[in-house]
Structure 1
Amino acid sequence: MAERAQERDRERDRPALPRIRLDLPRERRARLLPEYDPEAFGRLSERIARFLGTGRFLVWMTLTIVVWVLWNVFAPPPLKFDEYPFIFLTLALSLQASYAAPLILLAQNRQDDRDRVNLEQDRKQNERSIADTEYLTREIAALRMGLGEVATRDWMRSELQDMLKELESRDGERRDVFPPDGDRHSDVPDR
C-alpha cells in the first residue's frame, strides 16, 4: 500500500511529456473514484452475509424491532421518536435490506467462483486418475500376456522327455532321467 502511494506521488510530480514513443507506457490518469481492494471488500461482504444468515442476527433484529415498537407505543409522548406508522423504522429496515441483498449476492458470486475452481481441479484430478488406471490396466494386461509365454515345469518336462525319446530312438537304449514322482505331475505347487 505504501509503495503504491509513493509510486502515485512520483507519477504526479513528473512533468507531462507528450507520448511520442509507442514502447513507453501511457501516463496514469487521475481517477475520480477512490481505489479499493476488491478482495478485501469481498471478504467483508462474505462476513456480513454469513452474519445475516445466523439465528443470532434474527434474534437481535427481532428484539430491536420489538423494543422500538414498544417504546414508541407506550413511552410518554415527549420521548417518542417514531409515532405509530413507524416510518423511521420502515426506512431503517428498507435501508438494511437494500444493502443486505447486494452483499449476499456478492458473497454468493464469490462462492460460485470458488466452486468453479474446485470443480475444475476435481475434473483434472479425475482425468489424471483415469489415465493412471488405464496405464495400470495396460500394464497388467501386458504382464498376463507375458506370463502366458512363461515356460512351466510341466512344459519343460514334456519338451525334455520328447528330446530324450528322440535321443533314445537314435541310441536304442532307454535312460531314466526323470524318475516318476507320485505328486509331481502338475505345476500347481510352483505357482
Structure 2
Amino acid sequence: MAPDRDNTRERLPAGATAATRLRTARLDQPRPPRRRLLPEYDPEAFGRLSERIARFLGTGRFIVWMTVVIILWVVWNVAAPRHLRFDEYPFIFLTLMLSLQASYAAPLILLAQNRQADRDRVNLEQDRKQNERSIADTEYLTREVAALRMGLGEVATRDWLRSELHDLVKELEEVRVDGHHDRGVFPAEHPRGRDKDDR
C-alpha cells in the first residue's frame, strides 16, 4: 500500500490538497456527460427538413393553399354567427399567425440556402480539381504527341523511300542513256547465259 501512496503523491503537484485532488481531471477516465439545457438534435436531419419546407414554401401550391386558408378565415369571421367567430375584425389572430409563419419561414429558407451554398462550394471545388487533372492530362498528351512527331521526323517513311528510289532510277537511266560506260550500268548477258569463269 505504501508504494501506491508514494506514486499518487508524485503525480500531484506540490501543495495540492484533498480539494484540489478531486478537482483535477484524470486522463485515465472518461469525462462525465455534460447536462445540456437544450434538447439534442441531428443537424443533418434538421437541415433536410428545412430544405423540404423551404422547397414547399417556394411553390405555387403553398401560395394557393395559403390564399384559400386566408379567404376562408376572413369569410368565416365575417359571415358566421357571432358566437362562432374566433377572430373578429381586424383579424388580430390572423395577423399573429401570419407573422409567426413568416418568422419561421425566413430562417428555414436561409438555412436551406446555406446548405445549398455549401453543396455548390463542394461541387465547385471538385470541378476545379477535375479541370486541373484534365489540364495536366492534356499537357502530358501534348508533350507525348510532340515527342512522337520529333521521333517520326527522323524515320524514313514510305513516301520518302519511293522518292529516293525514283531519283536513283532516274540517275541510272540517265547514266545508261548518256553512255558514259562501255558496257553500261547493266552489262549485257553472255549469249550462252554463263561465263566460263562462273563454272
Deviates more, 1:112-121 or 1:25-34: 25-34
Instruction: Give identity over the alignment, percent.
Output: 75
Q: Which runs of 5+ in 1 are unaligned?
A: 1-15, 165-171, 177-191
Give the structure 2 partner of residue 29 of structure 1: 34
Give the TM-score taking structure 1 as reference length: 0.70
2:149 to 129, 144, 147: 144
Give the TM-score taking structure 2 as reference length: 0.68
Q: Which runs of 4+ in 1 moved over 6 A?
A: 158-161
The Cα of 1:18 is off from its aligned counterpart by 4.7
Q: What SS does the aligned partner of 2:87 have?
A: coil
Give the structure 1 partner of residue 19 of structure 2: none
The Cα of 1:45 is off from its aligned counterpart by 0.3
Deviations 1:134-155 (A, max 9, x none): 1111111111111110024157
2:133 to 128, 141, 148: 128
Deviates more, 1:149-158 or 1:136-145: 149-158
Q: Which amino acid aligns with 1:121?
A: Q
Give the structure 2 partner of residue 19 of structure 1: 25
Q: Which runs of 5+ in 2 are unaligned?
A: 1-21, 173-181, 187-199
Deviations 1:135-181 (A, max 9, x none): 111111111111110024157649989xx9xxxxxxx97645xxxxx
CA 1:131/1:174 → structure 2, altered by over 3 Å: closer, same or farther? farther
Deviates more, 1:133-142 or 1:146-155: 146-155
Higher Cα radius of gyration: 2
Q: How many residues align?
A: 152
Give the structure 2 partner of residue 66 of structure 1: 71
The Cα of 1:28 is off from its aligned counterpart by 3.1
The root-mean-square deviation of aligned C-alpha atoms, in Å, is 2.7
CA 1:174/1:135 → structure 2, altered by over 3 Å: closer, same or farther? farther
CA 1:31/1:175 → structure 2, altered by over 3 Å: closer, same or farther? farther
Give the structure 1 partner of residue 82 of structure 2: 77
